[in-house]
A and B are shown apart, each in its own frame.
Chain A
Amino acid sequence: MPIIKQKDYKTWKKFDRKRDLLNWLCWFLGTLIFSLCFGLISSNTIWFYVFDSHNEALDLLGRMIPPETNYFYTLIKPIWDTLNIATIGTTIGTLIAIPLAFLSANNTTPSKKFIRPLALFCIVSSRSINSVIWALLLVAVVGPGVLAGIIAIGLRSIGFCGKLLYEAIEEIDENQIEAIEATGANKAQIMTFGIVPQILPAFTSISIYRWDINIREATVVGLVGAGGIGIELDAQIGDLAWAKVSVILLVIVVAVVFSEWITAKIRKAII
């Protein structure tokens, strides 16, 4: 904390001169990068449409309100499908993520040189391909429908759960494992009595968290034909039936808030 002395008084400053300069440089570079990037974006934008967007928005709102409430009853099955896609997909994803996480954690992997990078690659590629792209691929393979959505969500969840889980495995307390080892336990027993109880809380919170995310993801896999409420959304937007679209959006908001409420409840019950 430098205190700057001037002729007859002292001032406190948060940073010294060097740090001030560094901060200033960071801000300068940040602003420069930002304006450069924004310039590139704006050169690819038709500004007429952007400046006209408030009219467009008002027009759209006018068409969306009032929502066509009767339409809600036809949405019950799609939203049920969406919930199922999320739930079953999460279950499949976490089940596959468990062995992958054990293979890729530094302290449990059977071979650091060969298997670990392979498992990590699986985790990363599952994470980097969005569930919509997974769904796009899967619809071509298993056909449009709920199953494609379930598999897409499952595949996408593997990476997320696998990554968080292997980080949790790497952070376990080695002493407990040694204690189990000292009783003469074999590898499988060390696993079930030494490692699993330690990562169980992390595992449950990760899978609940992913389920919450998956409810959201499951609403869009339908846009490419993989089942759930997204199919309805796609169809109604295609028909320009905006009064129905607003009902769908409302249902999605309710479903998401509901899932958030449930996850908060479960997390409280566990912790």
Chain B
Amino acid sequence: MKDKKVIWERKPLIKNKLLRIGLILLISTYLLSVFLTTEIDWQRILEGIPRGKNFIFAFFPPDFITRSDEILAGIFESLWMTIVATIVGIIISIPVSLGAAKNIAPKFVYFFSRGIITLSRSFQEVILAIFFVKLMGFGPFAGMVTLSFSTIGFFAKLLSEDIEEISKSQAEAIKSTGSNWFQWINYGVQPQVMPRFIGLLLYRLDINFRESAVIGIVGGGGIGSTLNTAFDRYEFEIAAAVLIVIISIVMIVEYTSSHLRKLIK
């Protein structure tokens, strides 16, 4: 009798062979078509490498001192904008998220709220900022409105998903005591989504601060304006300082928010 060697093989990721080959073909045709339709100017890149080197070296050493007033003013403006925008955005997004939860809202409210969320999520903050700056003039107010508007989409979407997952029995228990709608939301729904709510709040605070660094580029005030001015004046040492300040603040915010989230849990 011959020994047949039994070899274990890993199962393929996708069971259906046809689908597997089809996917590989699809992806490779896609990559090929991307490669064919994208014009990459290698000449320009070769030229750009030494230029890029100069450009990057121009960032060193970062200069915190010369325009420290402007950097500080920009940072604080960004912070005010972030705080106000997060709070305003969240206050608006609470009713929207209740409306966008299938288990709470009637059909037409649901679709209306989903519409608001989609609208707010579709546009990147920078595009929104362009329009709000056009409507409301330069400055931090336009930036704040932008951030609040984009907070709505983010916050309401994630919160409504959490509301849809609440335990029904708790909500029903409150309802059976004869509570009215507001009491029902306040005692039956709100305590269940509160941990998520605070987590999202901290997360959005973090995002809004980071976004406030770019909407300044199109006129929305904050540290982004300082950065943009530095670029426009070819003061790359100052731009580097601003970037470093942004990175370190984001790091601090991230550490504190993850710490806080653990504390709440």
Residues of A bordering B, CB below 8 Å: 14, 30, 33-34, 37-38, 40-42, 44-46, 48-50, 53, 56-57, 60, 77, 80-81, 84, 87-88, 124-125, 127-130, 132-133, 136-137, 140-143, 145-147, 193, 216-217, 219-220, 223-224, 233, 237, 249, 252-253, 256-257
Other than A44-B221, A146-B39, give 19 A-B pairs with Cβ distance below 8 A: A33-B83, A37-B80, A40-B76, A41-B81, A45-B139, A84-B34, A88-B34, A127-B210, A129-B247, A132-B214, A136-B217, A141-B52, A142-B44, A142-B45, A143-B48, A216-B121, A237-B130, A249-B123, A253-B118
6 contacts between A and B (CB under 8 A): A40-B77, A143-B47, A217-B124, A220-B124, A223-B126, A237-B130
Cα(A81)–Cα(B34), bound, Å: 8
CB-CB under 8 A from B34, the residues of chain A are 84, 87-88
| Contact between B122 and A125, CB atoms less than 8 A apart | no
- B3 contacts partner chain A, Cβ-Cβ < 8 Å: no
CB distance from A249 to the nearest CB of B (A): 7
CB distance from A166 to the nearest CB of B (A): 13
CB-CB under 8 A from B63, the residues of chain A are none
Which residue in chain A gives the minimum CB-CB distance to B37?
A: A80
| Contact between B247 and A124, CB atoms less than 8 A apart | yes
| Contact between A37 and B83, CB atoms less than 8 A apart | yes
Main secondary structure of the interface of B (DSSP, over half): helix
Which residue in chain B gives the minimum CB-CB distance to A33?
A: B83
| Contact between A130 and B80, CB atoms less than 8 A apart | no
| Contact between B247 and A141, CB atoms less than 8 A apart | no
| Contact between A216 and B122, CB atoms less than 8 A apart | yes
CB-CB under 8 A from A257, the residues of chain B are 118, 122
Q: Which 4 A-B pairs have the closest CB atoms?
A: A49-B137, A141-B52, A128-B250, A143-B44
CB-CB under 8 A from A256, the residues of chain B are 118, 121-122
Which residue in chain B gives the minimum CB-CB distance to A84?
A: B34
From known contacts A124-B250, A233-B127, infer whether A60 and B135 are also in contact, taking CB-CB under 8 Å. yes
CB distance from A65 to the nearest CB of B (A): 15
Q: Which of B41, B49, B139, B231 contacts A141 (CB 8 A)?
A: B49
Interface size for chain B: under 10, 10 to 19, 20 to 34, or 35 or more residues?
A: 35 or more
Which residue in chain B gives the minimum CB-CB distance to A39?
A: B80
| Contact between A53 and B136, CB atoms less than 8 A apart | yes
- B140 contacts partner chain A, Cβ-Cβ < 8 Å: yes
Residues of B bordering A, CB below 8 Å: 10, 30, 34, 37-41, 44-45, 47-49, 51-52, 55-56, 76-77, 79-81, 83-84, 87, 118-119, 121-124, 126-127, 130-131, 134-137, 139-141, 144, 187, 210-211, 213-214, 217-218, 221, 227, 231, 243, 246-247, 250-251, 254
Q: Which of B87, B134, B136, B139 contacts A34 (CB 8 A)?
A: B87
CB distance from A203 to the nearest CB of B (A): 12
CB-CB under 8 A from A42, the residues of chain B are 141
Which residue in chain B gives the minimum CB-CB distance to A43?
A: B140
| Contact between B137 and A50, CB atoms less than 8 A apart | yes
| Contact between B41 and A50, CB atoms less than 8 A apart | no
Cα(A142)–Cα(B46), bound, Å: 8
| Contact between A81 and B84, CB atoms less than 8 A apart | no
| Contact between B52 and A132, CB atoms less than 8 A apart | no
CB distance from A185 to the nearest CB of B (A): 13
| Contact between B126 and A129, CB atoms less than 8 A apart | no
Q: Which of B49, B140, B250 contacts A45 (CB 8 A)?
A: B140
CB distance from B84 to the nearest CB of A (A): 5
| Contact between A53 and B122, CB atoms less than 8 A apart | no
CB-CB under 8 A from A57, the residues of chain B are 135
From known contacts A34-B83, A257-B122, infer whether A145 and B39 are also in contact, taking CB-CB under 8 Å. yes
**Residue among B39, B49, B141 with the highest chain A CB neighbour number at 10 A:** B141
CB-CB under 8 A from B227, the residues of chain A are 133
Q: Which of A44, A77, A128, A137 contacts B139 (CB 8 A)?
A: A44
| Contact between A130 and B214, CB atoms less than 8 A apart | yes
CB-CB under 8 A from A33, the residues of chain B are 83
Cα(A10)–Cα(B119), bound, Å: 49
